[in-house]
Amino acid sequence: MNIVKAVKYCLLLVTSVVLAANVQAQDKVGTTAAAFLSISSGAKATAMGGAYVAIADDGSSMFWNPAGMAQLENNTVTFSNMNWFLDSQIQDASVVINGGNLGNFALSVRAIDHGEIEVRTIEIPEGTGEVFTPTNLAVAVSYSRFITDQFSIGANTKFVQEKIWNESATGFAVDLGVFYRTNFKNLRIGMSMTNFGNEMKMSGDDLRQAIDIDESINGNNDRLEGYLGTDSWPMPLLFKVGVAMDALDIESHKVELAIDAKHPSDNSESIDLGVEYGFNDLLFLRGGYRSLFSTQIEDQGLTAGFGLKYDFNGIGANFGATYMTHEYLEDPILWTLQIDF
């Protein structure tokens, strides 16, 4: 593909996604199930404002663009932890296996630890003495492969579950991605579609209730079995297209720039921006801005972080930490450890 044409095509896509009017999406703000699937993953990607669909070159790549996972040349084990709101913890873990000419394979897990919550009822508002632990879980199997030396494809298939007390909702989804790398300043173009799956609906034993269909009648059966109805909700479908390039790559210094345009099913379109400065492939400073130009997202803002990389006898260790600003709630902190072997 001609480089100039590739750049023009990508810029056209970015502009189209951002400027397209989508009243339906804006009317559906906050109306999806499994919203935890949209929370950022990986210290590097998050520090760069989420502008990562055209980079996706580490153990979190399957979250952003599964096609980017083909860039990993080693087997990789990655673990991330984020301090989320109300003392909850978001934990991500992944294992990537380099299959050589067969492509790369991965297994990843995302879980949220909300801690224990005390059971309260209308009759006993001070608490029954029982506790429960809400669960958000996603397990994905991924595959990615270079079709040519510059173009790769990738996909995730994932199981998703949310559980509150004795009720749960289960779903299945797929993510698809493409990645193209040019020879001009390491210019890369990436596109992805994530969380394409079935609608999710809460069900469980506690939705069964004994109902008196007419309390004004004495002697009737006041223990008829009823079932509280719940609605089905779609997963947070997201389309992203992005560009990344090396603005500077001389001796021990490297600067990488990235921009993503995103089109969610439950919100307005927006832009993510990111930059990374690397010194001697050892120390990395990162910054970004997420959800720029959004008309609906109120927690848009700055991100910042750093990374350290060290190789020892063929084993690589990468550590990163990220700080994000939030307008109303506490500012989350994310750290990631990746081992390459």
Q: Residue 287 is part of which domain span?
A: 3-199+234-340
* Residue 205 covered by a domain: no
* Residue 217 covered by a domain: no
* Residue 212 covered by a domain: no
| pLDDT value for 126 | 86
The DSSP-derived string for 165-231 is: TTEEEEEEEEEEEEEEE-SSTT-EEEEEEEEEE--EE-EEGGGEEEE-S-TTSTTS---EEEE----
* Residue 207 covered by a domain: no
Q: How far is CA 227 from CA 163, 207, 224, in A?
A: 18, 5, 10
| pLDDT value for 278 | 97
* Residue 204 covered by a domain: no
Half-sphere exposure of 163 (CA within 13 A, CB side): 15
| pLDDT value for 18 | 46
| pLDDT value for 5 | 54
Cβ pair 28, 21 in contact under 8 A: no
Residue 157: count of CB within 10 angstroms of its CB? 15
Number of domains in the chain: 1
Residue 168, domain CATH:
2.40.160.40
pLDDT per residue of the chain (341 residues) written in tens, 0 to 9: 454 455 455 555 545 544 443 444 445 666 788 999 999 999 999 999 999 999 999 999 999 999 999 999 999 999 999 998 878 899 999 999 999 999 999 999 999 988 888 888 888 888 888 888 899 999 999 999 999 999 999 999 999 999 988 899 999 999 999 999 999 989 999 999 999 999 999 888 888 777 776 676 776 766 777 778 788 899 999 999 999 999 999 989 999 999 999 999 888 889 999 999 999 999 999 999 998 887 776 557 899 999 999 998 889 999 999 999 887 777 889 999 999 99
* Residue 245 covered by a domain: yes
* Residue (of 54, 38, 19) closest to 269 by Cα position: 19
Q: What is the pTM of this model?
A: 0.84
Q: What's the angle, vertex CA 25, arms to CA 23 and CA 26, rounded to 5?
A: 65
- DSSP state letter for 318: E
| Gap between the Cα atoms of 230 and 323, Å rounded | 37
| Gap between the Cα atoms of 116 and 204, Å rounded | 20
* Residue 304 covered by a domain: yes
* Residue 88 covered by a domain: yes
